[in-house]
């Protein structure tokens, strides 16, 4: 049975691994997190007034307005299940 010090050490290792995984995920984002949050907020606003037409119409609009790398953003979204605005 692990002693108290071993339990604390294991807990610290687990926390460190989780933080590393989070950072690796963030490093894979195609834009800073605040920019992506802005995109998602924009989509929420647009889709509250208009139904999704099963395209990335609003996403492309936001990306162009904000001079983002459209190909990179769209590719990342599609790789993570974002095939339309909703």
- Determine the structural domain holding residue 57 and report its residue range: 31-86
Neighbours of 28 (CB within 10 A): 10
Beta carbons within 8 Å of 69's beta carbon, 6+ residues apart: 30, 63
Residues 39 and 50 in one domain: yes
Residue 50: band (very low, low, confident or very high) from pLDDT cuts 50, 70, 90: very high
pLDDT grade for 45, boundaries at 50, 70 and 90: very high
pLDDT band of residue 77 (cuts 50, 70, 90) is very high
Give CA separation, 34 vs 12, 29, 40, 41, 73, in Å: 29, 11, 10, 10, 14
Quote the pLDDT of residue 41: 97
Asked if residue 73 and residue 53 are part of one domain, the reply reads yes
The pLDDT-based confidence of 26 (bands split at 50, 70, 90) is confident
Is residue 15 located within the same domain as residue 44?
no
Instruction: Quickly tell me which residue has 């010090």 as its tokens.
Output: 5
19 and 49 assigned to the same domain: no
Report the C-alpha gap between 77 and 56 in whole angstroms.
10
């Amino acid at each position: 049975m692990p002693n108290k010090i071993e339990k604390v050490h294991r807990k610290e290792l687990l926390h460190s691994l989780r933080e590393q995984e989070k950072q690796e995920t963030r490093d894979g984002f195609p834009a800073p997190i605040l920019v992506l949050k802005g995109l998602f907020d924009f989509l929420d606003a647009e889709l509250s007034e208009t139904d999704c037409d099963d395209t990335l119409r609003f996403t492309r609009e936001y990306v162009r307005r904000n001079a983002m790398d459209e190909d990179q953003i769209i590719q990342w979204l599609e790789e993570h299940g974002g095939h339309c605005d909703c």
